[in-house]
Structure 1
Amino acid sequence: MADHKIGEMDITVQEKTFDGFIKMVTRGTMVIIALLILLALIGA
């Protein structure tokens, strides 16, 4: 069995996935807040 060495794994794909997830959550949150504000302004 190969010896495991800390810090040698290539994690570029995981970092890209995480960055995409954070962007999606941030944009989704902004859309929800904007919709809530719009609903409050029109009195629905």
Structure 2
Amino acid sequence: MAEYKPGEMDISVQEKTFDGFISMVTKGAILCILVLIFMALVNA
């Protein structure tokens, strides 16, 4: 059985995936807010 030592695993791919996910969620939330503001202004 292989010896596992915490902190030795390369997680650079997981970090890039997480950063991309957070970026897309943030952009999506901003887009939704802008769409809602636009809809409120048009219907006023």
Find the counterpart in structure 1 of residue 10 from structure 2: 10
**What amino acid does structure 2 have at the position aligned with 1:9?**
M
The gaps in structure 1 that reach 5 residues or longer are none
Distance 2:2 2:31 in 1: 48
Residue identity opposite 2:11 in structure 1: I
The gaps in structure 2 that reach 5 residues or longer are: none
Deviation string for 1:1-23 (max 9, x for gaps)?
01110000000000000000000
Report the residue type matching 2:35 in the other structure.
L
Partner of 2:39: 39
- Segments ≥4 residues shifted beyond 4 Å: none
> How many residues are treated as equivalent by the alignment?
44
TM-score (norm 1): 0.95
